[in-house]
Amino acid sequence: MRDTEDLRSRFRARFGNKGRPLRAFFAPGRVNLIGEHTDYNDGFVLPVALELGVTVIAAPRDDRRIRVHSQDLGQTAELDLDRPGPGKTGRWLDYIEGVAHMVDSRIQELRGADLLVAGDVPRGAGLSSSAAIEIATGFALLSLAGASVDRVALALAGQAAEHGFVGTRCGIMDQLVSTCADARSALLIDCRSLTTEPVPLPGGPFSILVTDTRKRHALASSEYNTRRAECERGVELLRAALPEVRALRDVTLEAFERHVSLLPEPILRRVRHVVTENARTLTAVDALRRGDVAAVGVLFVASHRSLQHDYEVSCPELDALVDLAIAQPGVHGARMTGGGFGGSTVSLVDESAQGAVMAAVREGYRRRFGVEPGFLVTHGGAGAREIDG
């Protein structure tokens, strides 16, 4: 989290506070432990919120305009809540404008605000910096309007902003973990009912190590939308034999195997990934509750192979990071995390081996790609909140 005192003085220098109280809000990014590309199939996911995220310093205005300054990009922009733009400009402002418009039209009429936004989640690293911007901004605007924050409604408004203003038909995982996470816990989300359940991380001496390929996920949006359409096609085809199926969540492994002949390539492999990944996620929750980190690690590797070969959303950089990590003693498992095509991996590592694992992965990756990977360790952060001044 960024130093809020420093951000408050930057806010005053930019906007002046004109006697207005300044309030500070924070929402985290996330790393997904397991349950990848299952959320938009009504399935299960198990993300962890990071200690890193987006901080918003906010003060109310008397009109319906939003002036916003991005501290990280050094850019300022202005929006009118009564005249939302079309979005999809590819700029950071799409997230702000999108969430402001969705909250205003779906949850609560907003008042104008001056906002200073600053983040510390590496952008494009597959750690959901965009959900953190949406949720921190939406939380701030709702709080300035005097509303108590309905966390599920806010997550849905963030997702609607992505669909309507950004152009990615994302699932609900990133927004929901950013609003609802508990510290030191993973969050099991049932993406059909939108119920969430914290799963405490075992207290033992192991680390959740995130490794950034430093390859920005350029293809992500178009390929993401293609995968989603392929899953929808899989549902249509399976409904010929299984009319009760509403989403791939409803397809068991046995039913999939029985009706596999209905599915042409590559739909067959896309469906197989989702069906097996849902099962792996629920198995991982049980293993985590027993403190069986080794069993979770095995599921991580199976998840990665499925994403690599069946769902085809990995890339050579992600595969190399996984292979380098799992070759090291003290690593229980590793997999890509997030949408794919770049971004980061997540590994479960014995704490005592962490330094040696990072050194070996750094060296192997640099030799192959000429780039240093980025590392971060998380113990699980808490969801969106107001920060005391």
Nearer to ligand GAF among residue 338 and residue 342 (C-beta): 338
> Is 128 annotated as ligand-binding?
yes
Nearer to ligand GAF among residue 171 and residue 234 (C-beta): 171
Peptide bond before residue 84 is cis, with ω within 30 degrees of 0: no
Q: How far is the CB of 375 from ligand GAF (least distance, A)?
A: 20
Instruction: Decide: 46 and 281 in contact? Cβ < 8 Å.
Output: yes
Tell me the window of 133-141, 168-176, 179-187, 288-296 that interacts with ligand GAF (CB under 6 A): 168-176
Separation of alpha carbons 97 and 59, rounded Å: 17
CA 93 to chain centre: 19
Q: How far is the CB of 164 from ligand GAF (least distance, A)?
A: 14
Nearer to ligand GAF among residue 174 and residue 212 (C-beta): 174
Asked if 36 is part of the footprint of ligand GAF (rule: CB under 6 A), the reply reads yes
Tell me the window of 35-43, 68-76, 294-302, 314-322 that interacts with ligand GAF (CB under 6 A): 35-43
Instruction: Choose, by CB under 6 A, the member of 11, 15, 26, 40 that binds ligand GAF.
Output: 40
What are the residue numbers of the active site? 174
| Residues in 304-343 at the binding interface with ligand GAF, rule: CB under 6 A | 338-339
Asked if 29 is part of the footprint of ligand GAF (rule: CB under 6 A), the reply reads no
Site string for ligand GAF, 125-164 (x = CB under 6 A): ---x------------------------------------
Nearer to ligand GAF among residue 71 and residue 128 (C-beta): 128
Asked if 170 is part of the footprint of ligand GAF (rule: CB under 6 A), the reply reads yes
SS (H, E, C) the chain: CCCHHHHHHHHHHHHCCCCCCCEEEEEEEEEEEECCCCHHHCCEEEEEEEEEEEEEEEEECCCCEEEEEECCCCEEEEEECCCCCCCCCCCCHHHHHHHHHHHHHHCCCCCCEEEEEEECCCCCCCCCHHHHHHHHHHHHHHHHCCCCCCHHHHHHHHHHHHHHHHCCCCCCHHHHHHHHCCCCEEEEEECCCCEEEEEECCCCCEEEEEEECCCCCCCHHHHHHHHHHHHHHHHHHHCCCCCCCCCHHHCCHHHHHHCHHHCCCCHHHHHHHHHHHHHHHHHHHHHHHCCCHHHHHHHHHHHHHHHHHHCCCCCHHHHHHHHHHHCCCCEEEEEEECCCCCCEEEEEEEHHHHHHHHHHHHHHHHHHHCCCCEEEEECCCCCCEEECC
Tell me the window of 112-120, 140-148, 171-179, 293-301 that interacts with ligand GAF (CB under 6 A): 171-179
> Is 125 annotated as ligand-binding?
yes
Q: How far is the CB of 340 from ligand GAF (least distance, A)?
A: 7
Nearer to ligand GAF among residue 37 and residue 69 (C-beta): 37
Instruction: Choose, by CB under 6 A, the member of 2, 8, 23, 37 that binds ligand GAF.
Output: 37
Site string for ligand GAF, 174-213 (x = CB under 6 A): x---------------------------------------
Which single residue is written with the structure tokens 């198990």? 46
Tell me the window of 33-41, 244-252, 257-265, 292-300 that interacts with ligand GAF (CB under 6 A): 33-41
Nearer to ligand GAF among residue 38 and residue 207 (C-beta): 38
Site residues, ligand GAF (CB under 6 A): 32, 36-37, 39-40, 128, 170-171, 173-174, 338-339
- Which residues are annotated binding-site positions for ATP? 70, 124-130
